[in-house]
Chains A and B, each alone.
Chain A
Amino acid sequence: MTDRRDFLKVAGVTTAMLAADGTLREALAKVMRPPRPAGPTMDPATRELLMEALNAAKLAGAGYADVRIGRQRQNFVFTREHQIQNVVDTDTMGCGVRALVDGTWGFAATQQLTKDAVAGAAREAVAIAKANRIARDRPVELLPSPNYPDVSWQSAFKVDPWTISVEEKADLLLRANAEALKVENVKFVNSALFLVKDERNFANTDGSVIAQVFIRSFPTLTATAVAADRSDFQRRSADIAPMGRGWEYVLDSDLVGRAGGWGEDAARKLSAKPVEVGRYDLVLHPSHLWLTIHESIGHPTELDRAMGYEANYAGTSFVAPPEKMLGKLKYGPEFMNIQGDRSQEGAISTIGYDDEGVKPDDFLIIKNGIFNDYQTTREQAGWLKWWYDQQGRPTRSHGCSYSQGWSDVQFQRMPNVSLLPGAEDHSFDDLIAATDNGIAIEGDGSFSIDQQRYNAQFGGQVFYEIKGGKKVGMLKDVAYQMRTPDFWNSMDMIGGKSSYQMGGSFFDGKGQPGQSNGVSHGAVPARFRQINVLNTGRKA
């Protein structure tokens, strides 16, 4: 019988082995052990590599360069019913160099953490930038940013998941599965833990040297109920948000305590009433609404999308061109305020400094219902100087540069984008009580939106029919279709401070080559009037 102490002993042995080896890479691995609360300290060897690459880039002709040496570890545990399917530990390290030469970007990355290799990557980044000069139209201009010569930051975790044994992780999931399987007709349960530890060391030619570490945790569970006559099956996924927290969050999520309830929801969906097509008032829980915010506010207010930089993949935006939208577009009612930030404790996009050395600020994307600002980087914020001047605000990046890891070039990614609470402290139940004929939706389901973010369709996890202010029964096969500006302008009631909660995505895709980003969305419950609801049930 092994226990957690045995696991730690194993970890201790491997750490001792590292110290004995003495290469730069091993020295790097050594400092990348669980950080102290004050934030990680960059070891001299890593700093030396960062400087080597920066110097090589400058010597080769870069006007600006930044270097990132990163290590990303992931730990996954997958289960079904009473068994473990797999336990996976991944570990990747390397160095990425971005160089701006004569207004054109180049990027190169290498897994080899030697002076020669990182300098080689720097020279290759410069060479790529030079080769691209023939296709330049307008030179890229980078906004100046304050430098941070020696700073560090770490995310808000109490218990590093890498100190928890796989046995303990598996045991938690299997106990949760067992609870869901106690429910009649629940035949299958899949659960998993996704844990990420990301260590980022950064330096740029402005003189910043930044060490950061963050942890992300995401427990999931899906119960599947099958009708006795095999005529139907229904699923219910847990509404647990991924968060920028540690093992303490996994425990707080109370999978074991809540799994039976999710199982019961799956079973009840088998006999739920198919929804009648029509227009309904929708009362949307934060566990659902976060995804609608993400798709219909988060993505269209990315400035690169609005300017056509994502046209070949994710698309452009209806919130364009900026001069016709900023201060003019009525996105929603006056009580609607949407904040962009990378500062909410425990949110996934929260960080001390972005991937081009900017300390992010909090900003209102939508202010009193009116479109007020875009998500920006140092390359982009200058495009909006006219607007910031008009507003008497400084022209600065909001700190939204992000790369998924050392091997990918950084670009504009979403900060936490959240619907701020209303003045009155209404709860989800208060909104239901105020609704005569509607549908309440909890949990996120199917989602799809067009390439300019106008037309969207969303499902959910559980749906309740509301009659005369009361939930009168469960519905199934519900999806709503909406046009973004009409939808948000139909919002007539929102929850208050005590109903605010986070949702989020662990796997938000953007860019070519595709990169994945984690992002949180805080939300309060909200009501939307007369929304078009479909019935999605068919027979094969």
Chain B
Amino acid sequence: MSGSILSRDEAQALLQRLMGFSKAERVQVSVNSSIRANTRFAANQLSTSGSVQNTGVVIQSWFGARHAVTTTNDLSEASLRRAVESSEALARLAPEDPEDMPLLGPQTYLPVHAYFDSTANLSPADRAQAAMSALAQTRSSSDLMAAGFIVTGGTAAALANSAGLFAYHANTGANYTLTVRTSDGTGSGWAGADHPDWTQLDFKAVGERAIQKARASRNPVAIEPGRYTVVLEPQAVGDLVQLVLFYGDARSADEGRSPFVKESGGNKIGEKILDQRVTMVSDPQDPQLLSQPFDGQGLPLNRREWIKDGVLQQLSYTRFWAKKQGKEPTGGPGSVKVPGGTASLDSLIASTERGVLLTRLWYLREVDPRTILYTGLTRDGTFLIENGKISKALRNFRFNESPLFILNNLDGMGRAERLAGTEAGGDVVMPVLKVKDFNFTSLSEAV
């Protein structure tokens, strides 16, 4: 990558300079500095590829309870002054915010080491070479077409305010996803890898897995939609289970518009809502997660158990709602992990008399917020399991399911891994799951 992201000292100096321009009663400033580079390929050849460097600042100014935000990526002195003045002008005109909270003072954050030189120092040639690991194989086979995406980069995020708070976090990221389709159009396989450290990505293994899935999924047969025992690979689990915490806002539950509403009043904290094997945590320091240890207001994000042994331990409280309800503010979930167990995918398949194996899910959309009911489809590797073995490739299904339902119909749980491509993205670690009565509502001809 050419150029570099802001160091801690550079970020702090920039933010101090910005605050120096402020005439507001209170001010919060932040900077996001990033370099991203990508290589994309499809139809067995490189398609687009690029590199982008950008640094932007965000200024929020307050006069009493009036506040407004301005952002700019023009870092010239005149522009920064203009942006500060603009946020002040907007703030003076904005109506008062009755939920406004005082700024946080200095905080202590967990140290998180998520920046890796192995990723930061990559060249376009390194990425092209990595792409070739799959392309060389698919081009030399007459029956395969590859499409994939490699994206790497580094980001520095820093935040400061007029109450003396300063926070800084730097991270790198490397992500590889690969779809291999068979030339006859009847088979498709997907695999991926993701880690802040480029050296942790096993390009060869991803290629082999996607190719194996593509060939095995050829000529799928249709079975009747309905309720089936399903083994979900971690990627498929992530797409659905990740959603639970998106609905974890305490205020919505207290207000009567959330899946965690208690009809007698308040919310379901303290109630058993899922199978007792299910625990759900956020933890910036977990070596599989390595997420940012503070939120957009500088609130520390420490390790937090949202669900423990199936019991709802915590919903997320904003600072305003926590104060109103006499609770501790939690911030949102910056990452999510369901620790899982020790069983392998193969052993969960082996223990299944008749069921369906799912590789990944697609196009998940909310159908009913009262139950986190989502619809979506299976994709890139759906197989029938009979007598403990994969017996055939299946046509894809549309499902209407809720993570709350599947985590109550648990039949087995395996090892957890870091995911490369959930639809909602983020730092996500999920186990293999086996669940009963998964609800497929129709068939799809899509491959």
Contacts and interface: CB of A to CB of B under 8 A. Distances in A.
Given A111-B53, A448-B375, A135 B263 contact: no
B261 A92 contact: no
B50 A106 contact: yes
B45 A231 contact: no
Nearest to A225: B257
Interface string B76-91: 1011011101110111
A520 B151 CA distance: 31
B164 interface: no
Contacts of B99: 83, 85
B370 interface: yes
Given A105-B47, A226-B255, A226-B257, A536 B367 contact: yes
A438 to B, nearest CB: 21
Contacts of B413: none
B178 A312 contact: yes
Residue in B39, B125, B135, B379 whose Cβ sees the most chain A Cβ within 10 Å = B125
Contact of B445 (A17, A125, A408, A452): A452
Given A88-B69, A455-B446, A310 B42 contact: yes
Given A25-B74, A105-B49, A233 B377 contact: no
A452 B72 contact: no
User: Which one of A13, A124, A313, A538 has the greatest number of beta carbons of chain B within 10 Å?
Assistant: A538
Interface string A28-51: 010000000000000000000000
A539 to B, nearest CB: 7
B425 to A, nearest CB: 9
Contacts of B370: 232-233, 538, 540
Contact of A446 (B68, B98, B178, B365): B365
Contacts of A6: 93
A308 B51 contact: no
A260 interface: no
A410 to B, nearest CB: 9
A320 to B, nearest CB: 8
A87 interface: yes
A498 interface: no
Given A310-B42, A409-B50, A477-B368, A93 B78 contact: no
Contacts of A312: 42, 147-149, 177-179, 190
B131 to A, nearest CB: 5
Interface stretch (B18-26, B231-239, B351-359, B436-444): B436-444
Given A84-B94, A85-B97, A124 B2 contact: yes
A7 interface: yes
B52 A457 contact: no
A133 to B, nearest CB: 8
A90 interface: yes
Interface in B305-342: none
B38 interface: yes
A204 interface: no
Contacts of A104: 46
A132 B379 contact: no
A6 B260 CA distance: 46
Contact of B446 (A105, A170, A313, A318): A318
B95 interface: yes
Given A311-B179, A448-B377, A131 B128 contact: yes
B94 A93 contact: no
B377 A512 contact: no
Interface string B51-79: 11111100000000001111111111011
Given A132-B124, A226-B256, A411-B48, A165 B263 contact: no
Contact of A452 (B36, B38, B367, B446): B446
Contact of A512 (B40, B76, B91, B96): B40
B86 A89 contact: yes
A245 interface: no
A535 B93 CA distance: 47
A508 B38 CA distance: 21
A91 B445 CA distance: 44
Contacts of A390: none
Interface in A124-146: 124-125, 127-129, 131-132, 134-138
B44 interface: yes
Contacts of A446: 365-367, 375
Nearest to A20: B78
Contact of A2 (B2, B92, B367): B92
A188 B255 contact: yes
Given A89-B90, A448-B375, A481-B398, A311 B145 contact: yes
Contacts of B257: 187-188, 224, 226, 233
A308 B145 contact: yes
A483 B377 CA distance: 13
Interface in B362-415: 362-373, 375-377, 379, 396, 398, 400, 402, 404-405
A167 B83 CA distance: 19
A105 B371 contact: no
B68 A94 contact: no
B248 to A, nearest CB: 14
A379 to B, nearest CB: 9
Contacts of B73: 91-94, 111
B371 A538 contact: yes
A386 interface: no
Contacts of B398: 448, 450, 455, 457, 481
Which of B90, B148, B263, B443 has the largest count of A CB atoms less than 10 A from its CB? B90
A455 B377 contact: yes
Contact of B97 (A21, A84, A125, A138): A84
A86 interface: yes
B71 A125 contact: no
B144 to A, nearest CB: 12
A136 B151 contact: no
Contacts of B444: 450, 454-455
B290 interface: no
Contacts of A408: 52
A174 interface: yes
A166 B441 contact: no
B124 A109 contact: no
Nearest to B125: A131
Contacts of B263: 229-231
A108 interface: yes
A510 to B, nearest CB: 12
A448 B86 CA distance: 41
B132 interface: yes
Interface string B159-189: 0000000000000000001110100000010
Contacts of B75: 111
B259 interface: yes
B69 A136 contact: no
B85 A14 contact: yes
30 contacts: A7-B89, A17-B78, A26-B79, A87-B67, A91-B74, A105-B49, A106-B49, A107-B48, A111-B54, A127-B124, A131-B128, A134-B125, A135-B45, A135-B131, A166-B90, A167-B95, A233-B257, A235-B369, A310-B42, A311-B145, A447-B365, A450-B362, A450-B398, A451-B379, A453-B446, A455-B398, A455-B443, A481-B442, A513-B36, A538-B371
| Minimum-distance CB pairs A-B, first 5 | A107-B50, A137-B45, A455-B444, A452-B446, A311-B147
Given A86-B68, A89-B70, A450-B446, 4 more contacts: A10-B85, A93-B74, A233-B256, A449-B363
Interface of A: 2, 6-7, 10, 13-14, 17-18, 20-21, 23, 25-26, 29, 83-94, 96, 104-111, 120, 124-125, 127-129, 131-132, 134-138, 165-167, 170, 174, 187-188, 224, 226-227, 229-233, 235, 307-313, 315-316, 318, 407-409, 411, 446-455, 457, 459, 477, 479, 481, 483, 512-513, 532, 534, 536-540
